Amino acid sequence: MKEMKKVLMITYDFPPMRTSGVYRPVKFVKYIQNYGWQATILTVRNPHRIAEDENLLKEVPKGCKIYRAYSFEPTKLEDRIYQKICKSPEKKKLQLAGVKNFVKRLFLSPFNAFVHNWIYIPDAKIGWFPFALFFALKLVKTENFDVIYTTSSPHTCQLVGFCIKLLTQKPWVVDLRDNWVVGYAELYKYKLRVRIEEYLLKRILAKADSVITMCEENAKDLIERFDFKDGYKYHAITNGYDRDDWKGLEDVFEPKADQKFVLTHIGTLYAKTSGEFFPALSELLKEKKELKDALQVNLVGYVGDGDLSLTKRLGLEKNVKLLGFQVHSEAIKSMLNSTILLLFLGEIKTSQQQFPGKFFEYLLAKKPILTLGKEGEIAQALYKSKAGLLVHPRDKEKIKEVILSLFIQKKRGELTISPDFEYIQRFDYKNLTFRFTQVLDKACSERVLS
């Protein structure tokens, strides 16, 4: 029997922590053995997390070694200060986001701004860097890994990988689940901060043996920005879905004809991505009285204080339900119990390139996907899958028109879609993991040839 190759996977996000970044490394680990690879995980021991899902650990194959390195988490201290000042119980933490931000601005803003701009480089998880690096070097010394793999965000993971590469010359694969610097410079107040992170990113990309991005456009942007000539080492691998997560659920929920018109958004609702959705909804409810009792918007996951305050200001509390965090299986049930699934991308270029993990699960739910965004690779995947429609996030009248049209179709029993599952199956994590292992194989083989 052929000996399996070994990869050290360095990822901050890993179960039982539940973030949007957890699923990609977990699914790769789950299926990687099918393609001749054995994974060892290095993750964080004491993360600053909002939600947990112990069930995700069940997906890790038996025998897979998981090591956890300590992290100095200053954001935990910040949170304790806010909690103490606000005297808010933990279970109400999400609902009090607006209060905490007010406290932050009023009492801690100058110090907080300095720390976030000049200490948290490249991000707030930098306190994990020295401990993760020390632990990783010990593992590399004792285990004969064929390749090192780092995935981000947080981009602190890439600094760990960069130092391991410098010190050991092991083949190194960088996975940028989220864009870094490129496309996000406008979020930084200081140009010096941008230049520092650009320098770090350029060094990391130049040193990596292979780079994985979420889509082709991500890779093109990086190559053009840094004038790289070695575009051959860039590979696009999106997020995906795992059919195992849906076993026993797909046929359980069959919405009744008299069920409410339910629009559901799963996952973090990021600031400035919902566009004119809530104002359009408010106007529509006033114009069409029958919608007041028939329409319900479910928000599953974290909702920022901007959207929270907006829904309250518009008087939408009756029709917009905050369901908080749900374990993965419950989130799937929420999708299946919906009439329409909402995908908010916003307007910035990178939001049209970074495939949210929920997008692929939306495809399996066989529900129309109402996407608010601009043309890009996600929009193309939406069209090719025949699973929904795209509306510009600032086109309030069009948003109203589409919601009303979907409501009327649902009322008449005519709201159906026929997704192209032949196209959609390319996003199955089994297929994506195969492509992932091809990248690992390539990094190893090129090292041997060199």
Poorest-confidence range of 1-15, 66-80, 162-176?
A: 66-80
Find where tokens 């797909």 sit: 250
- Check pLDDT > 70 for residue 448: no
**CA end-to-end distance (rounded Å), the chain:** 27
Are the C-beta atoms of residues 382 and 390 closer than 8 Å to each other? Answer: yes
DSSP string, 408-441: HHHHHT-------HHHHGGGBHHHHHHHHHHHHH
CB atoms within 10 A of CB 316: 17
- Check pLDDT > 60 for residue 319: yes
Report the pLDDT value the prediction gives residue 96, as an integer from 0 to 100: 44
* Both structure tokens of 83: 């909690």
Give residue 72's identity as a one-letter amino acid code. Answer: F
For residue range 106-133, what is the model confidence (pLDDT) as tens digits? Answer: 445 556 666 677 788 888 899 999 999 9
**In degrees, to the nearest 5, what angle opens at C-alpha 421 toward C-alphas 420 and 427?**
115
Binning pLDDT at 50, 70 and 90, where does residue 92 land? Answer: very low
Rg of the chain in Å (alpha carbons): 23
Binning pLDDT at 50, 70 and 90, where does residue 93 land? Answer: very low
Among 389, 392, 403, which Cα is nearest to 295's?
403
Report the pLDDT value the prediction gives residue 333, as an integer from 0 to 100: 92
Q: What is the average per-residue pLDDT within 326-349?
A: 89
Domain locations along the chain: 5-72+125-240+428-449, 74-118, 247-424
For residue range 419-432, what is the model confidence (pLDDT) as tens digits? Answer: 999 999 999 999 99
Architecture of domain 247-424: 3-Layer(aba) Sandwich (3.40)
The C-alpha torsion from 207 through 209 and 213 to 219, rounded to 10°, is 70
Binning pLDDT at 50, 70 and 90, where does residue 449 land? Answer: very low
Three-class SS state of 120: coil
Report the pLDDT value the prediction gives residue 224, as an integer from 0 to 100: 85
For domain 5-72+125-240+428-449, the CATH superfamily is Glycogen Phosphorylase B; (3.40.50.2000)
User: Which whole-number Å values give the CA distances from 74 to 31, 93, 97, 119, 127, in the listed order?
Assistant: 35, 18, 18, 10, 8
Q: How many CA atoms lie within 13 A of 2 on its CB side?
A: 9
- Check pLDDT > 90 for residue 279: yes
Report the pLDDT value the prediction gives residue 52, as an integer from 0 to 100: 82
Binning pLDDT at 50, 70 and 90, where does residue 377 land? Answer: confident
